Chains A and B, each alone.
Chain A
């Protein structure tokens, strides 16, 4: 799975480039864990879902697991740029109560600063 990792000071921006499904989440999770473990200075993380047009239960579960990992480091994880289909998953599962969801990556970065 292709993922774009970016650092903006102490904020990491992660952009998965394809759907988050049972087939792709293992790769997403492994790459994220390796990247996050290698950057001790990064505390807050923004996951940009602009290129994710579909997400299933495994994808959502992986995001929840990532939130836990980031929280353990004392940081916060924000979700940005939801497409309509992905937004529906957040609505149906009420995951909007678990995550902070913002409209753009810039807004998320600003909120983390």
Chain B
């Protein structure tokens, strides 16, 4: 039976959270992602079946690794919840792993001790590396007895040989300093041991695809530059610089002994030495000091392009809201004072996150009694309960179609998990009920952010104009019945 690999990628690493939104397995190490080095170990050991255990950043990891064809691997995926013990995954179906297993549990980098990579012959052996807390960093064995014993009791003091015998030296990354040192080591003396197809490190320089480097730029090896990056005139890069993908370095800047993560802009005439730059964040790896800068004159996150679809949705939504406000203004001015006078309903205010970074009160209509009365039902059937929120759309504080606004401060932590947030007046009614739980609310907001479309918004508006009035009127009829 072939040996299989189980790679844990979802465990949250506090040191990596400081570096921004990039999941730690996709952080750059030299001229590639961390995860690719793990794949390389699998290839060297002749392992083709790879199971990636997903957690935080699952979408990005699967998006990067895919089915593994690029590396000649067959990659499948499983999930593990944050609160579950990582070792419990192997216990779910132990027998599928006992014929042979490479188990990478913690963020451990397996340094090659020779350019030829790992020795493929490990038959009958048990190779084990543990961290100080007793958990396994990495394990390789094809001994069924050992694997059964280990899976049943992962913390048991089972002995194994050192990975050094396979020409691999495990190094656990526990801090920013470890991560920085790893990069400096890889881009410096170790780079030639990890040369990949299409690259030659004869000059100690690795440059990705679609990189713009004017002739006046000074590149001092060793240097690794990712894909789709741009370096301004008269800039100086290196020695010992790791530059990720989609990085822009403006003119006359000077970078050495540094790691610039994906999607970072480095401003004009800056000198960066011995630092990690992650978007608008400057990190000193030795002291762990973080400076939040995010200034387009200094360092900042590269801003994504404006999506034309969103511009269209915004204009269309605003026009529709404007028309609705103009149509509703008259009936609202007549009916609402009447409802107030008869005490048949009122607007309740609560604080919500609006568009941008705004937080403000939004009105919600509450009929009295809750089952509704004739006049309050008519008020809702005419969508007049939405009038104050439609005014907010006209003022640019809400979208017309999107997701239920998140309450402040109750759902503030959820809001900050969203890169794109579309608080709106109109949401799918059934969805908003099903997604009432906080985790569900986040799921809905993420779903809408990914799959939003102009057509979907039109459907929501039609639902507002046709279904909502009918629903209120039918509810009223049912109550009477």
Interface residues of A, Cβ cutoff 8 Å to B: 22, 25, 56-58, 60-62, 64-65, 68, 87-98, 100-104, 106-107, 110-111
Contact = CB atoms under 8 A, between A and B. Distances in A.
B416 interface: no
B443 A98 contact: yes
> Helix, strand, loop or mixed for chain A's interface?
helix
Contacts of A93: 442-444, 446-447
Contact of A104 (B79, B93, B433, B434): B93
Contact of A96 (B81, B430, B448): B81
Contacts of B93: 103-104, 106-107
Given A61-B431, A62-B434, A92 B439 contact: no
Contacts of A87: 62, 77
Interface string B320-356: 0000000000000000000000000000000000000
A100 B428 CA distance: 26
B435 interface: yes
Contacts of A96: 54-55, 58, 79, 81
Contacts of A110: 92
B296 to A, nearest CB: 30
Top 6 closest A-B pairs, CB basis? Answer: A61-B434, A93-B443, A91-B59, A101-B79, A64-B440, A91-B58
A57 B444 CA distance: 7
Contact of B451 (A57, A94, A98, A111): A57
Contacts of A100: 81, 84
B55 A111 contact: no
10 contacts: A22-B430, A57-B444, A57-B448, A64-B437, A64-B443, A65-B434, A93-B444, A94-B443, A95-B439, A102-B92
B82 interface: yes
Contact of A107 (B58, B92, B442, B450): B92
A100 B439 CA distance: 13
Interface of B: 54-55, 58-59, 62, 77-79, 81-82, 84, 92-93, 428, 430-431, 433-435, 437, 439-440, 442-444, 446-448, 450-451
Contact of A91 (B54, B430, B444): B54
Contact of A61 (B55, B62, B442, B444): B444
A92 B447 contact: yes
Contacts of A68: 437
Contacts of B431: 57-58, 61
Given A57-B448, A60-B443, 7 more contacts: A61-B435, A91-B59, A95-B443, A96-B58, A97-B81, A98-B439, A100-B81
A101 B84 CA distance: 12
B13 to A, nearest CB: 17
B428 A58 contact: yes
B320 to A, nearest CB: 22
A106 B54 CA distance: 20
A65 B433 CA distance: 9
Contacts of B434: 58, 61-62, 64-65
A88 B79 CA distance: 12
Contacts of B448: 57
B55 to A, nearest CB: 7
A61 B404 CA distance: 14
A93 B451 CA distance: 11
Nearest to B59: A91
